[in-house]
Homo-oligomer: A and B are copies of this chain.
Amino acid sequence: MKELKSVNRLIDSFAKLPGVGYKSAEKMAYAVLNMKNEDALEFSEAIKNVQEKVHKCPVCGSFTEQEICEICGDNERNHRQILVVSYSRDVLAFESLNTFNGVYHVLGGAISSINGVGPENLRINELLERVKKDQVEEVIIATNPTMEGEVTAMYLAHLLENENVTVTRLANGLPMGGHLEYADALTLNKALEGRKKF
């Protein structure tokens, strides 16, 4: 007897998630088997629903359920200050601080030769267009303090050199090699406050 077909099918789906190996995927699949039927159906629906309802904001590229995201559509925010992050979930980290009143730009990743991600795979042209069109005064680069994040930051800084805009980078409050999403609010706030010119 091997693993049941339908269980195998589910294991394959779980194993596609980041940081989930075969053993963990197997454990999760069996947990679904042991769930109450309504919980499993809710899980199944939640996955279908999230892809139906959520798309990328055409302005900043972060995930939204509306046509244009809440932040880009908010006239109370300072649209001349753009904070550039790699991932949509990094926006939430900054929003939870309640101290930043500018807008965001989500690149959708970072330049990485190992992963085959070049500048053309990121929303960099869209950023340049925004900078030119919206009379942007400051671009705060908040990519992760990793090798890929630093390369991406330097690339952006170089591109924006000739534009009439101040380019800043988060202060080195963030430990190198770490990831933005795991930073605590205090560290994140320090990094935001201490940002410096390129």
What B residues does A129 contact at CB under 8 A? none
Q: How far is the CB of A117 from the nearest CB of chain B, in Å?
A: 13
Q: Is the CB of A44 within 8 A of B54?
A: no
Q: Is the CB of B54 within 8 A of A7?
A: yes
What B residues does A27 contact at CB under 8 A? 17-19, 89
Q: Give A147-178 interface residues, CB cut-off 8 Å to B.
A: none
What B residues does A182 contact at CB under 8 A? 23
Of B5, B30, B40, B47, the contact of A43 (CB 8 Å cutoff): B47
Q: Is the CB of B46 within 8 A of A13?
A: yes
Q: How far is the CB of A48 from the nearest CB of chain B, in Å?
A: 4
- Given known A-B contacts A1-B91, A30-B88, A30-B89, A35 and B51 have beta carbons under 8 A apart: yes
Q: Is the CB of B4 within 8 A of A32?
A: no
- Given known A-B contacts A1-B70, A65-B4, A47 and B50 have beta carbons under 8 A apart: no
Interface on chain A toward B: helix, strand, loop, or mixed SS?
A: helix
Question: Does A33 touch B at the CB level, under 8 Å?
Answer: yes
Contact flags A1-37 to B (C-beta < 8 A → 1, else 0): 1111111011011001111100110111111110101
Closest-by-CB residue of B relative to A42 is: B13
Q: Is the CB of B1 within 8 A of A46?
A: no
Q: How far is the CB of A103 from the nearest CB of chain B, in Å?
A: 11
In the complex, A45 Cα to B51 Cα: how many Å? 13
Q: Is the CB of A17 within 8 A of B46?
A: no
In the complex, A81 Cα to B48 Cα: how many Å? 45
* A→B interface (CB under 8 Å): 1-7, 9-10, 12-13, 16-20, 23-24, 26-33, 35, 37, 39-51, 53-54, 63-65, 69-71, 87-89, 91-92, 95, 181-182
A-B pairs with beta carbons under 8 Å apart, 13 shown: A1-B70, A5-B65, A6-B65, A10-B47, A10-B50, A13-B43, A16-B31, A17-B28, A19-B24, A19-B27, A30-B87, A33-B54, A47-B47
